[in-house]
Amino acid sequence: MQPSPLSRFCLPLLGLALLCAGLVGCGGSNQSPTPASPQAEPLAPPPAVPLTVQVAGDVELAEGVRLLRGEWRARTGGDLKVDSVSLDELWSAERIVGDVVIFPSRLLGTLVERGDLRPLRTAMLSSPEFGLNDIYPAIRNGEMKYGGQVFAFSLGSPPLLNFRQLGAPAATTVAGNGPAPAGSVAPTDGLAAAYALVLRALGHTESYRRQEALFDPADMKPRIAEPPFVRALVELAAANAWRANQPPLGFAEAMQLVAGGDVVATLGWPSRLDEEFAAAAGAGPRNVEFTAVAPPADVYASSRGAWEKETNPASVVLLGCEGRLAAVTTATRNAVPAFQLAQWLTTGDLAASLSARSTGTLWYRASQASASGKWMKGLEVAKEGEPVTKIVAAALATDAPVLIPRLPAIDEYLAVLADAVRTAPADEAAAQAALDGVAAKWEAITNRLGRVRQAAAYRRHLGETE
């Protein structure tokens, strides 16, 4: 039976109408829809798999990640487990159990040498979503790297700064020009004692030798008993002499004394004060300011074996005293979603809120400076001083910060040094003897762990590639 002329005419029209309805809908527009904001889009699908984040040595940061579990599930469909562990637990475990680990930045070398971490791929580093160039140079070119490779995402790392009464003279510092006046205090509780000494000694060290100031990279021979460290120890002991027979202070306690007007100056960083103190009733703005650490004018010229005056001394940027990194583990069977999780935790507005929960972090991207108040936790410094965002940006603009050596057992090395700092008198002979004792104990640690292995790790810390 032949189709009627009417059907031959109507069927093509019907098909055209159906095609129109399927493509644009009745009365629809032929314009492309407006794309959604990248932050609002779900992550590019990996399979919905459960992931575990292990947070070492930072309870507040672990709680912050826990609060994000629902949002992660809504974006990816996957569950998120968060384990908070102590640093001792991190050491004692043969391997990290989990997909992503968050840890103090000075431990990067330990975890890489143990085979625990995966490096970031070039494609991720160059992605606009990651925004590598938004991260301050000292962090992206220094702290995130080990052996020439980027192994971790940053959650921020504070440089040590002077925290002092507004208008105090430049010499009023526990790390700068000459002996500190009475009323200044150097934090010496725990590892803070080692950091305070290292910072001051680096100021007495020639700029080109600062990266290798603690060990000889060829053979791991300690340099801790050399003249810059001896003089620094004498100066620190003199700075704290007025507090003889009193308990040592940590960074937070020393900063509270300055903020309360009881002490002239100390060392610290903007996020170190806890929220309860920083936002106390009537607290702000306080008559305090953060400043860069003023370098001393006297520098030891090692090639000539003599002290010299620097006409234009270079300031010291020391990182690794605190700082937090996030990395993907070699133990994970879900590397793609694990890398996406690590990136999600360290980028965008979410990262600022998460990082600011810790007292061991600081804003680490130029785009985060406008939100610096999150890290300050309510502390208001004097408006007459240099803006703290400018001080931090200047410190982190360097491509070559000095990093606390990221060696296996670095905390053991530092603890030995800290003990000597707390007990040494302000006497050069006694300081030399104390640091000679530190050097001997450091040699014992190095021999126990393997000198060749430790030297190779130190060189990778300094940026040497295989």
pLDDT of residue 174: 57
Sheet of strand 288-291: strand arrangement: 265-268, 161-165, 288-291
User: Of the ranges 54-58, 92-96, 125-129, 452-456, which one carries the lowest mean pLDDT score?
Assistant: 92-96
- Whether the CB-CB separation of 255 and 271 falls below 8 Å is answered with no
Identify the structural domains of the chain with CATH numbers, from first to last: 45-157+324-359 (3.40.190.10), 161-320+400-453 (3.40.190.10)
Query: Residue 5: what pLDDT?
Result: 44
pLDDT exceeding 70 applies to what percent of the chain?
85
State the pLDDT confidence band at 157, using cuts at 50, 70 and 90: very high
What does the alpha-carbon distance between residue 130 and residue 142 come to, in Å, rounded to a whole number? 17
Tokens representing 10? 């109507």
CA distance 450 to 36: 55
pLDDT band at 24 (very low <50, low <70, confident <90, very high): very low
Better-scored residue on pLDDT, 449 or 294: 449
Query: Between the CA of residue 146 and those of 126, 162, 201, what are the distances in Å?
Result: 18, 28, 24
Compute the distance between CA of residue 260 and CA of residue 254 in angstroms, rounded to an integer: 10
- CB distance 267 to 187 below 8 Å: yes
Over residues 178-231, the pLDDT tens digits come to 544 457 899 999 999 999 999 999 999 999 999 999 999 999 999 999 999 999
Q: What is the pLDDT of residue 274?
A: 73
Containing 318, the helix (H) or strand (E) segment is strand 318-319
Give the pLDDT confidence of 49-83 residue by residue, as tens digits. Answer: 999 999 999 999 999 999 999 999 999 999 999 99
Sequence-distant (6+) residues with CB within 8 A of 458 are 215, 217, 220, 405, 407
Q: What separation in angstroms does the CA of 152 have from each of 60, 90, 156, 241, 402?
A: 20, 17, 11, 41, 18
The pLDDT of residue 101 is 98
Q: Beta strands of 119-230 (E only): which ranges? A: 145-146, 149-150, 153-154, 161-165
Dump strand ranges (E) for 116-221: 145-146, 149-150, 153-154, 161-165
Mean pLDDT of 238-251: 90
- Using CB atoms within 10 Å of the CB of residue 37, give its burial: 0 to 12 exposed, 13 to 18 middle, 19+ buried: exposed
- Provide the pLDDT for residue 166: 86
Asked which of 158-172, 278-292, 294-308 is least confident by mean pLDDT, the reply is 278-292
pTM of full prediction above 0.85: yes
Residue 30 pLDDT more than 90?
no
Span of 249-263, 281-295, 310-324, 342-356 with lowest mean pLDDT: 281-295
Confidence tier at 95 by pLDDT (50, 70, 90) = confident
pLDDT tops 80 at residue 309: yes
d(CA 207, CA 141): 18
Residue 33 pLDDT = 37
Mean pLDDT of the chain: 87
Which residue, among 92, 140, 146, 138, has the nearest Cα to 119 in the 3D structure? 146
- CB-based contacts of 374, cutoff 8 Å, min separation 6: 352, 353, 356
Nearest CA among 238, 236, 243 for reference residue 200:
236
Q: What is the Cα–Cα distance from 369 to 397, expressed in whole angstroms?
A: 13
Question: What pLDDT score was predicted for residue 48?
Answer: 83
Identify the residue with better confidence: 385 or 82.
Answer: 82
For residue 316, pLDDT over 90 is answered with: yes
Distance CA 112, CA 107 (A): 9
Q: Return d(Cα 235, Cα 27) in angstroms, integer.
A: 82
Residue 247 pLDDT > 70: yes
- At 278 the pLDDT is 63
Tell me the average pLDDT across 372-378. 90
pLDDT, tens digit (0-9, with 9 covering 90-100), for 221-232: 999 999 999 999
pLDDT higher than 60, residue 334: yes
**What is the secondary structure of 258-279 as a DSSP string?**
HHTTS-SEEEE-TT-S-HHHHT
Answer with the residue of higher pLDDT: 232 or 311. 232
Over residues 273-295, mean pLDDT: 76
pLDDT at position 287 is: 87
Count CA atoms closer than 13 A to 12's CA, side-chain side. Answer: 4
Asked whether the predicted pLDDT for residue 176 surpasses 60, the reply is: no
**Residue 386 burial class via C-beta count within 10 angstroms: exposed 0-12, middle 13-18, buried 19 and up:** middle
Cβ neighbours for 19, distance < 8 A, ≥ 6 positions apart: none
Asked whether residue 11 carries a pLDDT value surpassing 70, the answer given is no
pLDDT interval class at 19 (50, 70, 90): very low
pLDDT value of position 100: 98
Whether 276 has a pLDDT exceeding 90, the answer reads: no
3-state secondary structure of 233: helix
Per the model's pLDDT, the better-predicted residue between 450 and 9 turns out to be 450
User: pLDDT tens across 391-427, in order?
Assistant: 999 999 998 899 999 999 999 999 999 999 999 888 9
136-152 as b/e, with b when 16 or more CB fall inside 10 Å? bebbbbbbbbbbeebbb
Spell out a b/e string for 70-95, using b for 16 or more CB atoms within 10 Å of the CB, else e: eebeeebebebebbbbeeeebeeeee
- What 3-state class would DSSP assign to 403? strand
